[in-house]
């Protein structure tokens, strides 16, 4: 039986929320991922970032989107609203405790970026942006949404893999997906 993959699986969340892990899981499960390897693995993401550089400029140029049909692509939460009509999007929104997100970002950027907003202010900004995204998505044609909690995913990767497979409906290898989860890489548990 041939399963239709005429949608774009969009993996999104705030930075450092676990989107790279989701991309790893989908790739392990057999869903092609759209990445370019421009950002190599490092100590913060030893298995890679699974990013696609053109996705970072989505608001200015979406010409690459037809290449994403049948694949998963990572799009930061603030650019989801730039996804144009005319495609079937299956959005997987990764949620993570914002204190953990901010701590992870602080560790990633330590010594590499000028000081930004305080941790509390950054968490407030992200919370507001996520509420705005939820309102934008409400009833939006062309979008189906699955929210996954990062902590629960790490606690029960098999359940998360089954949820992803059910949501995407393409017969992914859920055992391989669950096997791609490495809870020992969860460093920021603030």
The enclosing domain of 32 has a CATH number of 3.40.50
pLDDT mean over 40-64: 86
Residues 162, 52, 185, 126, CA torsion sign: negative
pLDDT at 189: 47
Does residue 41 register a pLDDT over 50? Answer: yes
Asked whether 127 and 98 are in contact (CB, 8 A), the reply is yes
CA 52 to chain centroid: 12
Q: How far apart are CA 149 and CA 139, in angstroms?
A: 22
What's the total number of domains in the chain? 1
Domain presence at residue 189: no
Nearest to 164 by CA among 30, 47, 65, 67: 30
For 148, the 3-state DSSP assignment is strand
Q: What percent of the chain has pLDDT over 90?
A: 68
Nearest to 74 by CA among 6, 145, 137, 19: 19
Outline where DSSP puts E strands in the chain: 8-12, 72-74, 89-95, 143-149
More confident of the two residues 187 and 34: 34
CA torsion, ordered 16, 18, 19, 22, to nearest 10 deg: 170
Domain presence at residue 67: yes
Domain presence at residue 1: no
Domain presence at residue 13: yes
User: In terms of C-beta density within 10 A (0-12 exposed, 13-18 middle, 19 or more buried), how is residue 160 classed?
Assistant: buried
User: In terms of C-beta density within 10 A (0-12 exposed, 13-18 middle, 19 or more buried), how is residue 38 classed?
Assistant: exposed
pLDDT at 49: 79
Domain presence at residue 132: no
Domain presence at residue 111: no
Does residue 106 register a pLDDT over 70? Answer: no
Domain presence at residue 135: no
Model confidence band, residue 122 (pLDDT cutoffs 50, 70, 90): confident
Give me the domain span that covers residue 60: 8-96+141-183
pLDDT at 86: 94
Domain presence at residue 16: yes
Does residue 190 register a pLDDT over 60? Answer: no
Does residue 1 register a pLDDT over 50? Answer: no
Does residue 110 register a pLDDT over 60? Answer: no
pLDDT at 40: 77
- Poorest-pLDDT segment among 33-37, 49-53, 81-85, 186-190: 186-190
**125-138 per-position pLDDT tens digit:** 999 999 999 999 99
């Amino acid at each position: 039986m041939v399963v239709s993959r005429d949608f774009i699986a969009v993996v999104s969340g705030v930075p450092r929320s676990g989107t790279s892990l989701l991309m790893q899981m989908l790739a392990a499960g057999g869903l092609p991922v759209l990445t370019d390897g421009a950002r190599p693995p490092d100590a913060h993401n030893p298995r890679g970032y699974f990013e696609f550089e053109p996705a970072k400029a989505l608001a200015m140029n979406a010409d690459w989107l037809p290449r994403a049909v049948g694949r998963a692509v990572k799009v930061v939460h603030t650019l989801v609203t730039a996804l144009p009509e005319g495609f079937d999007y299956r959005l997987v929104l990764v949620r993570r405790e914002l204190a953990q997100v901010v701590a992870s970002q602080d560790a990633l950027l330590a010594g590499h970026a000028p000081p930004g907003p305080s941790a509390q202010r950054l968490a407030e900004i992200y919370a507001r942006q996520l509420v705005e995204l939820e309102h934008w998505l409400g009833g939006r044609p062309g979008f189906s949404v699955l929210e996954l909690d990062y902590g629960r995913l790490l606690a029960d990767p098999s359940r998360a893999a089954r949820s992803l497979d059910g949501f995407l409906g393409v017969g992914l290898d859920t055992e391989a997906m669950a096997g791609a989860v490495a809870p020992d890489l969860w460093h920021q548990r603030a």
